[in-house]
Chains A and B, each alone.
Chain A
Amino acid sequence: SAVISQKPSRDICQRGTSLTIQCQVDSQVTMMFWYRQQPGQSLTLIATANQGSEATYESGFVIDKFPISRPNLTFSTLTVSNMSPEDSSIYLCSVCCPGTGGTEAFFGQGTRLTVV
């Protein structure tokens, strides 16, 4: 199993500013994933963060808006840049699924972001 610590748990930010969300895992993992969950919606994958390489972004998400760092196998950050009210969401980091037999995805508790 994996325990994920994510912070901050919530924040209220001014439009035009940036927020960096941190995700710490208690074990080494190859891939970490960042999701966005807009109010009342499902989880949408933003990007996959691999240690030692550039993050891979899903359609509709770009590095300039959501830069990701992955300095080691237990830590990652997601920055939400130049925020607007449309960025108000819950952001979750996750580790999952090595693809060799199937394991559950573990989630951080999420960061509830409100942009005003």
Chain B
Amino acid sequence: QQPVQSPQAVILREGEDAVINCSSSKALYSVHWYRQKHGEAPVFLMILLKGGEQKGHDKISASFNEKKQQSSLYLTASQLSYSGTYFCGTEGSNAGGTSYGKLTFGQGTILTVHP
């Protein structure tokens, strides 16, 4: 089942912050975040596995709620290089508590950062 991403698009000026959300109707095994620039393959940002987890590097971080149904990506002090389309990819859990090993992607959030 495809996760729901919001918002669909965000326009920022350099230095501003943004939050992108990803929601599932079922508990997930993991959430991945990717950024894709036009004409390129998606680039991995981070993966979250545990309920309540928060992680990040530089000025990009993400959280995974306790129920493992919602994740948010936080972009702080945005830079021009942050522009692109952000996708969350979710792994579902099987009956054994492990993943099926395949990702289902949200519809994407277009982030545009202006000078």
Which A residues form the contact surface with B (CB < 8 A)? 30-31, 33, 41-45, 48, 92, 94, 96-110, 112
The answer to whether A108 touches B103 (Cβ under 8 A) is no
Told that A99-B29, A100-B98, A101-B49 touch, could you supply 17 new A-B pairs with CB distance under 8 A?
A31-B101, A41-B108, A42-B106, A43-B42, A43-B103, A43-B105, A45-B102, A45-B104, A97-B30, A98-B101, A99-B91, A102-B99, A104-B44, A104-B47, A105-B34, A105-B103, A112-B39
Q: How far is the CA of A99 from the CA of B102 in the complex (A)?
A: 9
**Contact among B44, B100, B108 with A99 in the assembled complex (CB-CB below 8 Å):** B100
- Please report whether the interface of chain A is mostly helix, strand, loop or mixed according to DSSP: loop
Which of A43, A98, A109 has the most CB atoms of chain B within a 10 A radius of its CB?
A43
The reply to whether A92 and B47 form a contact with Cβ atoms under 8 Å apart is no
- List the B side residues contacting A110 at CB < 8 Å: 40-41
A interface footprint on B70-114 (CB within 8 Å = 1, 0 otherwise): 000000000000000001010100000011111111111000000
Task: Report if A105-B32 is in contact (Cβ < 8 Å); known contacts: A45-B102, A97-B99.
Answer: yes
Determine which residue in B44, B101, B108 has the highest number of CB atoms from chain A within 10 A of its CB, and name it: B101
Whether the Cβ atoms of A92 and B41 lie closer than 8 Å is yes
Q: How far is the CA of A33 from the CA of B105 in the complex (A)?
A: 13
Q: Are B98 and A103 neighbours in the complex by a CB distance under 8 Å? A: no
Evaluate contact between A108 and B41: CB separation under 8 angstroms. Answer: yes
Q: Mark B37-59, 1 if CB is under 8 A from A, else 0.
A: 00111101001010000000000
- Ordered by A's residue number, 29 sampled pairs between the chains whose C-beta atoms are within 8 Å are A31-B101, A33-B103, A41-B108, A42-B2, A42-B105, A42-B107, A45-B104, A48-B102, A92-B41, A96-B101, A96-B102, A96-B103, A97-B91, A97-B99, A97-B103, A99-B91, A99-B99, A100-B98, A101-B49, A102-B29, A102-B49, A104-B44, A105-B34, A105-B44, A106-B44, A107-B41, A109-B40, A110-B41, A112-B39
